[in-house]
């Protein structure tokens, strides 16, 4: 296929725009940026990067739970673990009765406090960023029934 000089000059610009768009799509889905970045740098084409971003978005959507659904789960089954990953001072100010506090930044070193990897665990924090990180930590460590409720305000 023969291409003219204008097309050769525009192609890199188009590729960069598509790559930026792919990253932005991942940001708006709430997906963790670290895996997106890793997949994009490993991707051999923009189309492959877009496909990987969509797959990550699908995975994160599967673990999202509404406050209403979380409340229903805990009312129906008293073995469901409500995991608060905020700081101690936030927990002291307001918490959900029966929830367990393990701040997200110490979660990996305290996984032994959640020994049943098949237990249903609903993770939450103040706004949703830390709960998403904590859910990823749990899933990457073999926990199989992890749900991210996001903000504690979703409970009420």
- For the stretch 55-101, pLDDT in tens is 444 444 468 999 999 999 999 999 999 999 999 999 999 999 999 99
pLDDT of residue 34 exceeding 90: no
Pair 137, 105: CB distance under 8 Å: no
Q: pTM of the entire structure?
A: 0.62
- Mean pLDDT: which of 5-14, 27-36, 65-74 is highest? 65-74
Catalytic residues: 125
pLDDT tens-digit profile of 100-111?
A: 999 999 999 999
Any idea which fold 67-154 has?
Oxidized Rhodanese; domain 1 (3.40.250)
150 phi/psi in degrees, rounded to 5: 80, -120
Q: How confident is the model at residue 156 (pLDDT cuts 50, 70, 90)?
A: confident
What the block records as the tokens of 103 is 């701040």
CB atoms within 10 A of CB 33: 10
Indicate the helix (H) or strand (E) that contains 101.
strand 100-101
Q: Where are the domains of the chain?
A: 5-61, 67-154
């Amino acid at each position: 296929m023969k291409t003219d000089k204008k097309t050769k000059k525009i192609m890199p610009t188009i590729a960069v725009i598509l790559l930026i768009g792919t990253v932005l799509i991942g940001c708006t889905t709430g997906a963790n940026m670290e895996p997106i970045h890793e997949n994009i740098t490993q991707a051999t084409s923009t189309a492959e990067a877009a496909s990987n971003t969509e797959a990550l978005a699908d995975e994160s959507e599967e673990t999202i739970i509404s406050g209403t659904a979380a409340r229903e789960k805990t009312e129906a089954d008293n073995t469901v673990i409500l995991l608060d990953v905020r700081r101690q001072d936030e927990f002291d100010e307001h918490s959900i009765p029966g929830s367990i506090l393990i701040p997200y930044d110490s979660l990996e070193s305290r996984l032994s406090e959640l020994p049943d990897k098949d237990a249903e665990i609903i993770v939450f924090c103040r706004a949703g960023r830390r709960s998403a990180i904590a859910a990823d930590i749990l899933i990457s460590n073999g926990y199989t029934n992890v749900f991210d409720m996001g903000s504690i305000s979703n409970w009420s």
